[in-house]
């Protein structure tokens, strides 16, 4: 299971970075999304994949009765998902605006900021 | 795109989804659920309505600009976080009413924090989606 | 109540941001709330600063969850000094934006987002939890994305695309590093990590994690091979936004580097060497970059990169003197860089251009203002007794002590090149006969403004110049402060004890 996860994470990172390095703005966003998902899966994997009960203590007892899954990585992933959700939606709006104003989809043609002014 | 089936269904789905979102919100403290998921479900309810009836209709239905929910929710979350400071506990410590309320269950500052999260999520999601679909 | 004191600056900024959101369309109310709130924030921070100065490191366990399980907030001298500097710069920029930002931009929520950015900065400085640091970083970059695109001009959007992509990449690398660190140690609390990382047997993996942190923070701090997003984007937004970016955003990256490499990954010779090499290259490339630019905002952008090198160099040498130099430089740099971007905004408002070729004759037109601008410009160069001079003494002494002569050469080279750049700027903008600038139609010229708006432009520059002068002439006090910070940083046991003792016997 871990090997499979590791391969998937590697593929997601590689694909994400490959897409970011493309010249198209849309592919940039796709790359960002893939990279974010790769990072989330990495946290999940490195929190150890365990077969256990959910980390919720039953009402009548004070401590965990059996082996339980580590809740921290899940909390981290949830936070990271929320943040990347916000960033990605911002990126989509930004790219749309940029496309409308600059009238190109090609990152190489976005060089107004490098011009001498 | 206006289909009669979706339009009719959305009229019934909107209240059902909203009630469901509140249920998920209240269930959140001990069981899977909570403000974030609840807020997303509530936002989806309005997005579905906008799909079926058009953006302007849903905006009329909402009465207020969804962006206004953000400061409201943030303020609620902020106050519930600050409340324990007044009784000299560290920031964000959970304060609880001793007895459970009927239907809702135990009520504490965490619930108000979650309601704040719910409002912020509804506000943010709707603002984002409305902005994207407006400029499309 | 004193235990909670360290969170008050943070909570006040959050409160301000929420309050300002309720006044979304009422610009004048926003201006007043922002300025008054910033003054209050400065006062509060000074009080907290003096409290920590007298009582040592303070910690707070949020939600009463004890360290290392909950989120800890830690205010040591370094954190609170940076919070204080944020408050000073924040007040100045708040006044400056009240009069320099056009109403169209203010209507899109400039002030709430600005205070949200300050909230993120305060949080990043105060948190003692590495994942929480990530969250504050995200709050900072989300607010900065909104600020940099506000207005939506062509250059702004293009700059924003570059800024967004690289910062997002940095966050993802940071997140990856956190994931690996959590996998290695099973902890997120920085004090706990400091203990556990030292015990990890797989040193190679620790080193890789450290390098991931170095890359992630390095992009944010704009060090040598990773800085290209900065000059491509910092000159595009309005000067008030550039001021807060130039003054504080890259410094958060530097703060994170200092924190992580003085607390968690300590005493690794390879990493220290790498930091020194990076610093030397940063000093060199930033300086040379500044030399060939024509737009004054771009000149300042490259100088930011150049001077980041000083701080990283001090961190790489990692002796008490070197760290003291780094901290002193950090204090000086935040104030001066914020001031310089406001100055560039003022020059743009007066003349209608930022191009050095076109500008000129500023001194004969505005002699008093020119003398005022002289202070931050030459503080940056470090003409003694102005503020940039003193930290360089510490850095040079430290590089003699550690026998890193390349570092020494780089310090001297970068100081020299800064002098050349500033002298060139002074000659071109202030002394040269003015070139041809077309009178711009519908442009909000400075001399057409009312008295109070003019004051809003000049007052923050005066304020920060006085702070700069104090840092220069009261260098002894700042030196005492930075030595104390350096002592705390060199001995990471102090930090660890503060986090855990307080958890065991809360007062």
Q: Is B76 on the interface with C (CB under 8 A)?
A: no
In the predicted structure, residue B1 carries a pLDDT above the cut 70: no
**Region C162-167 average pLDDT:** 91
The alpha carbon of residue C158 is apart from the nearest alpha carbon of chain A, in Å, by 6
% of chain A surpassing 70 pLDDT: 94
**Phi, psi (degrees; rounded to nearest 5) at C237:** -75, 170
pLDDT at C155: 84
Q: What is the pLDDT of residue C115?
A: 94
Does the predicted interface ipTM exceed a cut of 0.90? Answer: yes
- Determine the Cα–Cα distance for residues C420 and C435; give it in Å rounded to an integer: 21
C68, C70, C172, C200, best to mutate vs chain A, most A CBs in 10 Å: C172
Which chain C positions have a beta carbon within 8 Å of A103's beta carbon?
A: none
Q: How confident is the model at residue C507 (pLDDT cuts 50, 70, 90)?
A: very low
Give residue-wise pLDDT tens across range B23-50. Answer: 999 887 777 788 888 999 999 999 998 8
Q: Are B121 and B21 in contact (CB under 8 A)?
A: no
Is C220:C250 a contact under the CB 8 Å cutoff? yes
Q: Give the start-end residues of each E strand in C150-297.
A: none
**Which residues of chain C lie closer than 8 angstroms to B92, CB-CB?**
62-63
- Name the minimum distance, in Å, from the CA of B83 to any CA of chain A: 24
Q: Do C18 and B67 touch (CB under 8 A)?
A: no
**pLDDT tens for each residue of B83-135:** 888 877 778 777 777 777 777 777 788 888 899 999 999 998 998 888 888 77
Domain ranges of chain C: 2-504
Confidence of residue C504 (pLDDT cuts 50, 70, 90): very low
Q: How many CB atoms lie within 10 A of CB A60?
A: 5
Give the count of beta carbons closer than 10 Å to the beta carbon of residue C443.
11
Question: How many angstroms separate the CA atoms of B21 and B37, rounded?
Answer: 8
> What is the SS3 string spanning C391-434?
HHHHHHHHHHHCCCHHHHHHHHHHHHHHHHHHHHHHHHHHHCCC
Using 50, 70 and 90 to split pLDDT, how confident is the model at C403? confident
Closest CA to A78 of B37, C426, C405: B37
Q: Which whole number is the average pLDDT over C143-161?
A: 87
Task: Provide φ and ψ at C248, rounded to 5°.
Answer: -120, -30
Distance between terminal CA atoms of chain C?
A: 11
Task: Name every residue whose Cβ is closer than 8 Å to that of residue C37 and which is 6 or more positions away in sequence.
Answer: C12, C16, C19, C94, C115
Residues in chain C within 8 Å Cβ distance of A25: 161
Is the pLDDT confidence value at C399 over 50? Answer: yes
Segment among A5-14, A15-24, A50-59, B13-22 with least mean pLDDT: A50-59
DSSP per-residue string spanning A21-38:
HSSBHHHHHHHHHHHHHH
The percent of residues in chain C predicted with pLDDT above 90, rounded, is 52
Dihedral angle at the C-alpha atoms of C306, C308, C313, C315, nearest 10 degrees?
180
> pLDDT, tens digit, for every residue of C329-362?
999 999 999 999 999 999 888 888 888 888 888 8
Whether residue C487 lies within 8 A of chain A, CB to CB, comes out as no
Mutate to test the interface with C, among B69, B71, B113 (most CBs of C within 10 A): B71
CA distance C205 to C203: 5
The whole-angstrom separation of Cα C192 and Cα B57 is: 54
Per-residue burial over A73-101, b if 16 or more Cβ lie within 10 Å, else e, is beebbebbebbbbbbbbbbbebbebbeee
What is the distance between the alpha carbons of residues B111 and C171, in angstroms, rounded to a whole number?
Answer: 31
Tell me, what DSSP letter sits at residue C67? T
Which of these, C91, C140, C136, C89, lies nearest to C113 by C-alpha position?
C140
Q: What is the pLDDT of residues C38-64, one digit of tens each?
A: 999 999 999 999 999 998 888 888 877
Select the residue of C11, C24, C63 nearest B93 (Cβ to Cβ).
C63
DSSP letter, residue A106: B
Whole-number Å distance between alpha carbons of C352 and C355: 9
Domains along the sequence of chain A with CATH: 2-50+70-109 (1.10.287.3510)
Q: How much is the pLDDT for C352?
A: 81
If pLDDT is split at 50, 70 and 90, which confidence band does C285 have? very high
Q: How many CA atoms lie within 13 A of C102 on its CB side?
A: 11
Distance from CA of B16 to the nearest CA of C (A): 31
Query: Which pLDDT band holds residue C105 (cuts at 50, 70, 90)?
Result: confident
| pLDDT-above-70 percentage for chain C | 98
How confident is the model at residue A116, as a pLDDT?
A: 60
Model pLDDT for residues C426-457, shown as the tens digit of each residue: 998 888 887 777 777 777 788 888 888 888 88
Strand partners, C74: C59
Interface touch B71/C62, C-beta < 8 Å? no
- Between vectors from CA C120 to CA C472 and to CA A40, what angle results, nearest 5°? 130
Strongest mean pLDDT among A8-22, B89-103, C229-243:
A8-22
C74: enclosing H helix or E strand: strand C72-75
- Which residues of chain C have a CB within 8 Å of the CB of A95? 161
Q: What is the mean pLDDT of residues C80-102?
A: 92
pLDDT tens string A56-92: 777 777 777 777 777 888 889 989 998 988 888 888 8
Place of tokens 């006085």: C466
Q: What angle do CA C244, C247, C250 make, to 5 degrees?
A: 105
Q: Looking at the predicted structure, is the pLDDT value of residue A2 above 90?
A: no
Any idea what DSSP says for residue C382?
A: T
**b/e C373-402 (16+ beta carbons within 10 angstroms → b):** bebbbbbbbbeeebbbbbbbbbbbbbbeeb
The larger pLDDT score, comparing residue B135 to residue C406, is at C406
Task: Identify all chain B residues contacting C63, using CB atoms and an 8 Å cutoff.
Answer: 90-94
Confidence of residue B136 (pLDDT cuts 50, 70, 90): low
Mean pLDDT computed over every residue of chain C: 89
Round to whole Å and give the CA distance between C109 and A113. Answer: 25
Among positive and negative, which fits the CA dihedral C454, C342, C419, C301?
negative
Q: What is the mean pLDDT of residues C79-93?
A: 94
Per-residue pLDDT at C506: 45
> pLDDT tier at C154 (50, 70, 90 boundaries)?
confident
User: What are the backbone dihedrals phi and psi of residue A83, each rounded to the nearest 5 degrees, phi first?
Assistant: -65, -45
The mean per-residue pLDDT over the stretch B77-84 comes to 88
3-class DSSP state for residue B29? coil
Residue that has been written with the tokens 């040592």 in this structure? C56
Put simply, the answer to whether B90 touches C61 (Cβ < 8 Å) is: yes
Burial class of residue C418, CB neighbours in 10 A (0-12, 13-18, 19+): buried
In chain C, residues with a C-beta closer than 8 Å to the C-beta of A39 are 172, 175-176, 179
Interface with chain B: mutation pick from A61, A83, A84, A89, highest number of B CBs within 10 Å: A89
CA neighbours closer than 13 Å in the CB half-sphere of residue C280: 15
Angle among Cα C68, C73, C77 to the nearest 5 degrees reads 120
Element (H, E) at C59: strand C58-61
Indicate whether A113 pLDDT > 60.
yes
Q: Are B30 and A56 in contact (CB < 8 Å)?
A: yes
Please provide the average confidence, as pLDDT, over all residues in chain A.
Answer: 85
């Amino acid at each position: 299971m871990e090997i499979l996860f590791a391969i998937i994470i590697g593929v997601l990172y590689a694909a994400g970075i490959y897409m970011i390095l493309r010249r198209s703005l849309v592919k940039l966003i796709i790359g960002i999304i893939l990279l974010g998902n790769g990072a989330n899966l990495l946290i999940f994997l490195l929190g150890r994949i365990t077969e256990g009960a959910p980390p919720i203590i039953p009402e009548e007892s004070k401590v965990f009765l059996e082996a339980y899954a580590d809740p921290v990585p899940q909390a981290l992933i949830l936070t990271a998902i929320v943040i990347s959700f916000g960033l990605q939606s911002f990126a989509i709006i930004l790219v749309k605006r940029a496309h409308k104003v600059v009238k190109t989809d090609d990152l190489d043609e976005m060089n107004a900021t490098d011009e001498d002014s | 795109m206006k289909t009669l089936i979706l339009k009719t269904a959305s009229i019934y789905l909107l209240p059902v989804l909203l009630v469901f979102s509140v249920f998920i919100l209240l269930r959140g403290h001990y069981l899977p659920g909570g403000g974030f998921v609840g807020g997303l479900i509530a936002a989806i309810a309005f997005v579905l309505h906008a799909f079926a009836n058009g953006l302007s209709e849903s905006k009329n239905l909402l009465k207020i600009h969804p962006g206004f929910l953000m400061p409201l929710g943030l303020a609620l979350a902020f106050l519930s976080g600050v409340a324990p400071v007044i009784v000299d506990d560290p920031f964000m410590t959970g304060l609880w009413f001793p007895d459970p309320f009927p239907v809702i269950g135990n009520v504490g500052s965490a619930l108000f924090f979650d309601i704040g999260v719910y409002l912020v999520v509804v506000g943010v999601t709707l603002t984002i989606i409305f902005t994207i679909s407006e400029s499309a | 109540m004193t235990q909670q004191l360290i969170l008050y600056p943070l909570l006040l900024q959050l409160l301000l941001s929420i309050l300002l959101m309720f006044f979304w369309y009422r610009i004048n109310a926003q201006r007043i709330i922002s300025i008054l709130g910033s003054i209050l924030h400065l006062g509060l921070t000074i009080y907290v600063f003096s409290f920590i100065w007298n009582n040592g490191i303070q910690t707070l366990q949020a939600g009463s969850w004890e360290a290392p399980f909950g989120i800890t907030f830690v205010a040591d001298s370094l954190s609170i000094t940076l919070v204080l500097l944020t408050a000073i710069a924040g007040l100045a920029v708040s006044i400056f934006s009240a009069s320099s930002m056009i109403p169209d931009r203010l209507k899109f929520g400039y002030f709430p987002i600005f205070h949200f950015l300050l909230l993120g900065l305060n949080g990043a400085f105060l948190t003692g939890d590495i994942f929480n640091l990530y969250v504050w970083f995200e709050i900072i970059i989300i607010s900065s994305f909104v600020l940099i695109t506000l207005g939506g001009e062509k250059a702004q959007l293009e700059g924003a695309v570059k800024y967004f992509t690289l910062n997002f990449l940095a966050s993802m690398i940071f997140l990856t590093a956190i994931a690996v660190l959590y996998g290695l140690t099973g902890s997120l609390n920085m004090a706990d990590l400091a203990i556990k990382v030292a015990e990890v047997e797989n040193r190679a993996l620790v080193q890789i994690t450290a390098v991931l942190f170095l890359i992630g923070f390095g992009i944010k701090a704009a060090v040598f091979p990773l800085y290209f997003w900065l000059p491509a984007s910092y000159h595009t937004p309005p000067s008030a936004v550039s001021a807060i970016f130039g003054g504080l955003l890259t410094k958060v990256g530097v703060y994170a580097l200092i924190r992580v490499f003085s607390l968690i990954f300590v005493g690794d010779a390879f990493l220290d060497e790498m930091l020194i090499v990076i610093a030397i290259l940063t000093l060199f490339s930033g300086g040379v970059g500044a030399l060939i630019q024509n737009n004054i905002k771009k000149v300042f952008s490259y100088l930011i990169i150049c001077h980041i090198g000083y701080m990283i160099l001090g961190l790489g040498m990692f002796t008490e003197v070197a760290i003291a130099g780094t901290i002193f430089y950090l204090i000086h740099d935040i104030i001066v860089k914020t001031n310089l971007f406001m100055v560039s905004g003022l020059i743009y408002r007066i003349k209608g251009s930022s191009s050095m070729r076109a500008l000129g004759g500023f001194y004969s037109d505005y002699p008093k203002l020119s003398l005022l601008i002289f202070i931050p410009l030459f503080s940056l160069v470090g003409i003694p007794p102005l503020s940039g001079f003193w930290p360089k003494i510490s850095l040079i002494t430290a590089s003699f002590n550690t026998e890193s002569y390349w570092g020494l050469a780089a310090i001297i080279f970068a100081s020299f090149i800064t002098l050349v750049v500033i002298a060139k700027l002074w000659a071109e903008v202030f002394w040269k006969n003015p070139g041809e600038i077309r009178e711009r139609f519908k442009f909000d010229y400075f001399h057409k403004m009312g008295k109070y708006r003019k004051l809003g432009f000049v007052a923050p520059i005066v304020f920060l110049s006085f702070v700069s002068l104090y840092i220069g002439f009261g260098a002894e006090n700042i030196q005492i402060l930075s030595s104390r910070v350096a002592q705390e940083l060199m001995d990471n046991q102090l930090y660890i004890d503060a986090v855990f003792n307080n958890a065991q016997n809360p007062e």
